[in-house]
Amino acid sequence: MAEVVALLGDVAREVRGETAEARAASRSRDGHAYLEECLSNPDDADLYLDHLHRVEESVLSSWVEGRSQDVGVLVQQLETHLLDGMKWGGRGFDAVGSRIAWLRRVVQHAAARGDEGLLEDSVASLLRVEAHWERFPQRQATRAWLESVSGASARTVARVLSREVEGLRWLLAEGWFPERGDPTILAVCETGALRRA
């Protein structure tokens, strides 16, 4: 329903002659307000599960840059709601993919900014949620990202992988092993693969 309301708002603005830039600025302001509302209502699963993943990339990026501790709270709350099957309710099984993708976006922004604290927490959440939901397209995307991360971020990710055994097991399922990547991540994957053998 919220999507329909947003589309109707876009149509009304279009009729009034608002520019695409003005609409984007409005959605950005709305995104900031939405994240604030989530922080104010951490137990409201619907806020987190129905709309958080739709917040614009520019809004998420600015929050990772300027409010990473708050983003960490959002990540933890989303994880809590995603791991509670009762809160997921009647939402479609495949719909969880966009929520997992949002967690990965946070991971990617944290790595790009060099925010090792947020990176560590968000990778751990991502791995736990992925292992719980077992969504194959999301696993493929996370695997691809793991092959690209390097430097201090790779060392942080490797530490998390070594702790999150179920998440690592999910990533290494079906005989997958990174074709390339940072040596620290490759070493943890190799250790995990040996444990499985």
Please count the residues of the chain.
Answer: 197
Please state the φ and ψ torsions of residue 132, each to the nearest 5 degrees.
-70, -45
Q: Provide the residue ranges of all domains of the chain, joining segments of one domain with +.
A: 2-141
pLDDT band at 14 (very low <50, low <70, confident <90, very high): low
**Which pLDDT belongs to residue 94?**
87
Question: Which residues have CB under 8 Å from 155's CB, separation 6+?
Answer: 182, 184
The DSSP letter of residue 72 is: H
CB atoms within 10 A of CB 85: 8
- Residue 17 pLDDT more than 80? no
Give 76-113 pLDDT, tens digit per residue: 999 999 999 899 988 888 899 999 999 999 999 999 99
152 in Cβ contact with 116 (< 8 Å): yes
Question: Which residues have CB under 8 Å from 81's CB, separation 6+?
Answer: 45, 48, 49, 87, 88
* Token representation of residue 64: 């990772």
**Measured in Å, how far apart are the chain's first and last C-alpha atoms?**
49
pLDDT band at 10 (very low <50, low <70, confident <90, very high): low
**Which pLDDT belongs to residue 65?**
97
pTM: 0.84
Tokens 């600025």, residue located: 25
Tokens 């696993």, residue located: 139
Give 46-66 pLDDT, tens digit per residue: 999 998 999 999 999 999 999
Give 100-150 pLDDT, tens digit per residue: 999 999 999 999 999 999 999 999 999 999 999 999 999 999 999 999 999
